[in-house]
Amino acid sequence: MADVVGIGRQSAYAQCRLYLVTGGAEGVPCHRIGRLIRIYRAELERWLGFPIEVPAPVEATTDPTPTVTRPAPTSAPESRTRPSRRSRRVPAEQPSLPF
């Protein structure tokens, strides 16, 4: 409903709550079924004043695999060297603890 009317999801829920609280005097027509809020298409079309048109589905192509173009390699990849172990923060001449 939010997409059809062009409002955000939270605004749509607020309009539904308003409809339920006011007994249908204000807000978007909806029905609460347990924890769910349902908006029936026929009621929404009557409230809007025009029929809702669903866009036609996009036809699938004959080849389901997408074509991927990769750039040609320009040169051999550079090898990265990992740094050796981190240097000690404590000088080597300092005595270590016995535990």
Q: What is the pTM of this model?
A: 0.53
Q: What tokens appear for 90 in the block?
A: 């404590």
For the record, the structure tokens of 29 come out as 């027509």
Which secondary-structure segment (H or E) carries 31? strand 31-33
Q: pLDDT tens string for the chain (99 positions)?
A: 888 888 999 999 999 999 999 999 999 999 999 999 999 999 999 999 999 887 677 776 666 666 767 777 676 666 677 767 766 676 667 777 666
CA distances from 96 to 30, 87, 88, 89, 92 (A): 74, 16, 12, 12, 9
For residue 24, the model assigns a pLDDT of: 92
